[in-house]
């Protein structure tokens, strides 16, 4: 999956005229909850790009035109249309929004809000399926047995096509068995060095599976000890998930 799947295309963006009053632009962005946008000499046909604006960076004098405050849209502020989703999440961990396209021809914008789109849930769900497969394999290859375990697995659902009771249970149960059997380092030798844990992945997986919100805040505040999740925390969790799978 690429950034093009989840971005807001230029055709759907509200952009501004260089001559628009900066104070009114700020109020409009605040009302519409826009974090960033583009400024053109002719916004109706997206001609004469002056640059971009970030709402949280706007400082201005009364009567100042927004064009005077537009910043250069450099390559450092842009993602290519084919940038993979993991790259998008990594950048949004440090930036509230990123533009997509080329400096003279931006194609759209992607923000932390876009990480809650259905396509992102589908993409993450596929990664969690791979994680569960990996954990089951590690458990089956180990000396762990049902008889010696304190983890209560589901008893029903086994049939001719089900290899064992591990196949029917949840990621949370698999993680509990991994910890009980001391198998963490067999998954990742450096697993203790990550800024996320297997339990964090269980919480994220539950949010994804039930189509709950993945990223709860646009801010940069620390969320590891909160019920909410920020983009930086999502990136930390995704790093562990992708490295395991």
**What is the tens place of the pLDDT at every residue in 164-181?**
888 889 999 999 999 999
For residue 156, the model assigns a pLDDT of 64
Stretch (H or E) spanning 79: strand 78-79
- 181-197 pLDDT tens trace: 999 999 999 999 999 99
For residue 60, the model assigns a pLDDT of 79
For residue 124, the model assigns a pLDDT of 98
Q: Inform me whether the pLDDT recorded for 110 exceeds 80.
A: yes
Stretch (H or E) spanning 96: none
What confidence category does residue 16 fall into, taking pLDDT thresholds of 50, 70 and 90?
very high
CATH topology of domain 3-111: CBS-domain (3.10.580)
For residue 62, the model assigns a pLDDT of 83
Of 27 and 224, the structure prediction assigns the larger pLDDT to: 27
For residue 16, give the 3-state DSSP assignment: strand
- 149-162 pLDDT tens trace: 999 887 666 667 77
For residue 157, the model assigns a pLDDT of 63
Q: Which of 47-56, 58-67, 81-90, 200-209 has the lowest mean pLDDT?
A: 58-67
Is the pTM for the entire model greater than 0.85? yes
Of 145 and 157, the structure prediction assigns the larger pLDDT to: 145
Q: What is the mean pLDDT of the chain?
A: 94
Q: Inform me whether the pLDDT recorded for 82 exceeds 70.
A: yes
For residue 195, the model assigns a pLDDT of 96
3-state secondary structure string, 136-177? HHHHHHCCCCCCCCCCCCCCCCCCCCCCCHHHHCCHHHHHHH
Q: Inform me whether the pLDDT recorded for 53 exceeds 80.
A: yes
Q: Inform me whether the pLDDT recorded for 243 exceeds 90.
A: yes
- 69-81 pLDDT tens trace: 999 999 989 999 9
Which residues have C-beta within 8 Å of that of residue 43, sequence separation ≥ 6? 15, 16, 17
Q: Inform me whether the pLDDT recorded for 215 exceeds 80.
A: yes
Per domain, the residue ranges of the chain are 3-111, 118-244
For residue 161, the model assigns a pLDDT of 76
Segment 54-65 shows an average pLDDT of 90
Please state, in angstroms and rounded to a whole number, the distance separating the CA atoms of residues 115 and 108.
15
């Amino acid at each position: 999956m690429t950034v093009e799947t989840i971005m807001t295309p230029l055709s759907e963006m509200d952009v501004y005229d260089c001559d628009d009053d900066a104070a009114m632009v700020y109020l409009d962005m605040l009302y519409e909850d826009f974090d960033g946008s583009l400024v053109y000499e002719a916004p109706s046909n997206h001609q004469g790009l002056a640059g971009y604006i970030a709402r949280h960076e706007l400082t201005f004098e009364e009567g100042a035109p927004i064009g005077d405050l537009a910043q250069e849209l450099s390559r450092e502020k842009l993602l290519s249309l084919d940038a993979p989703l993991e790259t998008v999440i990594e950048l949004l961990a440090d930036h509230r929004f990123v533009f997509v396209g080329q400096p003279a021809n931006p194609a759209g914008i992607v923000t932390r809000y876009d990480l809650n789109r259905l396509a992102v849930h589908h993409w993450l769900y596929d990664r969690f399926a791979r994680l569960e497969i990996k954990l089951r394999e590690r458990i089956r290859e180990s000396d762990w047995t049902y008889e010696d375990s304190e983890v209560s697995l589901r008893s029903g659902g086994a049939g001719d096509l089900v290899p064992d009771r591990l196949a029917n249970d949840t990621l949370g149960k698999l993680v509990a068995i991994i910890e009980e059997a001391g198998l963490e380092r067999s998954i990742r030798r450096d697993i203790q060095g990550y800024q996320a844990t297997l339990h964090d992945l269980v919480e994220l997986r539950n949010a994804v599976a039930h189509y709950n919100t993945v990223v709860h805040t646009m801010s940069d505040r620390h969320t590891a000890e909160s019920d909410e999740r920020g983009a930086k925390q999502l990136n930390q969790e995704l790093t562990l998930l992708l490295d395991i799978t």
